[in-house]
Amino acid sequence: MFDPYPLLQQQRNFFATGATRPESFRRQQLAKLATAIKKHEAAVIEALHQDCRKPPLESFGSEVLLTLSELQYGLKHLRGWMRPQRVGTPASQFRSTAVIYPEPKGIVLIVGPWNYPFQLVLVPLIGAIAAGNCAVLKPSEHAPATSALLAKLVAETFDPAFVAVVEGGIPENQALLAEPWDHLFFTGGTAIGRIVMAAAAKHLTPVTLELGGKSPCIVDGTIDLAIAAKRIAWGKFINCGQTCIAPDYILVAEAVKEPLVAALRQVLGQFYGAQIEHNPDYGRIINQRQFDRLVALLPEATGEGVLRFGGRHRREDLFLEPTLVDDLHFTSKLMAEEIFGPILPILTYQCLEEVVTQVRSHPKPLALYIFSQD
């Protein structure tokens, strides 16, 4: 059975030395991470293809380049983040001065997801290092090739007393969550987010949760539909729809619904061609569990909606075609929870007041997109 206590104690001892506090140390560690990412760039892209069938350009842009950009930003702003800030004092504290000093928290646990298994582990690490903390990284077991690569990259780059990777599945996650941390960073689904928050509450551990949601995409009658369709299709179907800020559903003015559907169909043909399953620029669903969940949402399974494009699927290859579904309502099964896959429901509205009412009647989404010239 995995016991994280020795690793945590090792990191607590290292943190207590004060070694992580100087700007020079933090800057040096961020620079080392950037060097390691560049060194392993080809291996990262290959691992992501093994795990998710991600196209190389997509892997580079959304995982490697994004992480390097965050590193560059961190190095540029590090000194300002660390600078003490003078603040005002109330009259009752007359003649006193007040200063806020940014302080490292200590030992941080970062639990990463499977959809962007490289950058959504390392980007939070950049923040942890910049703030002067030690960190334990737990990559997703559903992206095993990327998890193994992260373990190798981190072991080559950092002393485990400063940054370490723990691989594994549910037992390792449970063992890590049972420990007291100084901060906990989790990216993933809402259901697991509740488990993480409950575990953290036992130790009064502060948490950062990034959980996704049903992000609406609102299209009115004033926009250039060809441009809107291209941008919606890119945002929805990159990474096979497995992106937390992807448009989850469209709310389109009823008068322009049919032209928008036609524009989306045309754009998808331009993006992926007639034989989408053979296009190397289109990825796959992460595993059979997620595949089965998504197929169960298609009109053929639910009896709800009309298929306007796509819908073809093949379980042995985890292939699910970009899919447009029309003639739905907010009570439809597709609208019950975040889709997190390449299925795009299209709903209509008559007036903007309907849109406001419907969006506000549901939990606040992670993102909201508006296509309008108004």
Task: Return the active site residues.
Answer: 210, 244
Asked if 184 contacts 109 with a C-beta cutoff of 8 angstroms, the reply is yes
User: At 207, which helix (H) or strand (E)?
Assistant: strand 207-210
Cα separation values, 288 from 16, 50, 216, 333, Å: 45, 15, 27, 20
Amino acid at 372: S
Asked if 305 contacts 299 with a C-beta cutoff of 8 angstroms, the reply is yes
For residues 60 and 73, give the distance between their C-alpha atoms in angstroms, rounded to a whole number: 18
Tokens of 214: 């049903």
**In this structure, are strands 183-187 and 163-165 parallel, antiparallel, or unpaired?**
unpaired
For residues 186 and 138, give the distance between their C-alpha atoms in angstroms, rounded to a whole number: 10
* Dihedral, CA of residue 213, residue 59, residue 126 and residue 141, to nearest 10: 70
For residues 109 and 205, give the distance between their C-alpha atoms in angstroms, rounded to a whole number: 10
Asked if 370 contacts 216 with a C-beta cutoff of 8 angstroms, the reply is no
Asked if 26 contacts 176 with a C-beta cutoff of 8 angstroms, the reply is no
Cα separation values, 348 from 217, 219, 224, 257, Å: 11, 9, 17, 7
- Residues facing residue 76 across a β-bridge: none
Rg of the chain taking only CA atoms, in angstroms: 23
Classified as helix, coil or strand, 244 is coil
For residues 280 and 73, give the distance between their C-alpha atoms in angstroms, rounded to a whole number: 32
For residues 336 and 325, give the distance between their C-alpha atoms in angstroms, rounded to a whole number: 15
